[in-house]
Amino acid sequence: MGSKSRKFGEVFTRAQEILRKTFGMELVELQTRVEEKDDEQKKDLEKLGIKKKTASTNTKTFILRSVLHPSLIEIAASPDDDILRVDQADHTEDDVGDEVGVLYVILALILVNGKTISDSELRSLLKRMRLPGAANVPQNNQSPLQMFTFDAFLTICIRQGYLDRQRVGEVKGAGKKRGRAAVGTQAGGDDNANAWEWRWGSRAMSEVGEVDIARFVTDFMVERERAETGGEDEEDEDEDERQEAEKRREQVMKGVERAASGSLAGITGS
């Protein structure tokens, strides 16, 4: 903006109005890991009646986020059955889900493991869920579908800010950038000498949020339990069954929060 940089706030506000009304989107500045930790500490102190002033760290990195109603997004994201049949004909047994579904599973595993998980443990859990390292992940915004190797998919998630990977015990800013090397190319190839761990990236916090992933896990577990016990469809449930299902959801949600080792954060930058 040259010499008119002081007008940024005014321009930004107007741009937000146009984005929301015309395109159903908004600009959101990503948080740094430091800001996320400060927010957690601030919440803990507020519970004790202590107020703490924290300096805001501007990343100057923005993303576009949809403000459309979830029902509209669900309809827009619905795949075309005819296209899927053609694309799936070329898939192999190693192909899995789609990139969003796989990412949500990874975010869920990180969340319920205390918000951080070692690389070896993550891969072990994914293998048990039929997501081995040799799996192919389809890029669901391409037609015909394009396939990623699993390690390539993880690398893309790091670059896009959905996942964060670092060496165990590494201090941020200690002379080098974290998570920039391609996944699967760690120096020396010795997992013991070069242990890695995964966390949520700032974009996942701004687009998805821990609360929604916790609900994703809760819905999956409750619906699976109902299916295994021969439960009725929701349309055929009576009031007592609905109340029992809701009570079970509350129990599972609390369990997810305990497994996350702390309070669950909603979407940041809202």
In a domain, 26, yes or no: yes
- Which one-letter amino acid corresponds to residue 258? R
The chain-wide mean pLDDT, for the chain, equals 78
In a domain, 254, yes or no: no
In a domain, 25, yes or no: yes
In a domain, 21, yes or no: yes
Which range of residues forms the domain containing residue 69?
17-32+60-79
Question: Looking at 228-232, 248-252, 259-263, which range is the least confident one?
Answer: 228-232
Tokens in use for 135? Answer: 């799996």
DSSP letter (8 states) at residue 114: T
- H/E segment holding residue 26: strand 25-29
pTM of the model: 0.72
In a domain, 174, yes or no: no
Residue-wise pLDDT for 187-213, tens only, equals: 444 455 458 999 999 999 998 899 999
Given a contact cutoff of 8 angstroms between Cβ atoms, the answer to whether 150 and 109 are in contact is: no
Q: Say how many domains are in the chain.
A: 1
In a domain, 4, yes or no: no
Given a contact cutoff of 8 angstroms between Cβ atoms, the answer to whether 204 and 183 are in contact is: no
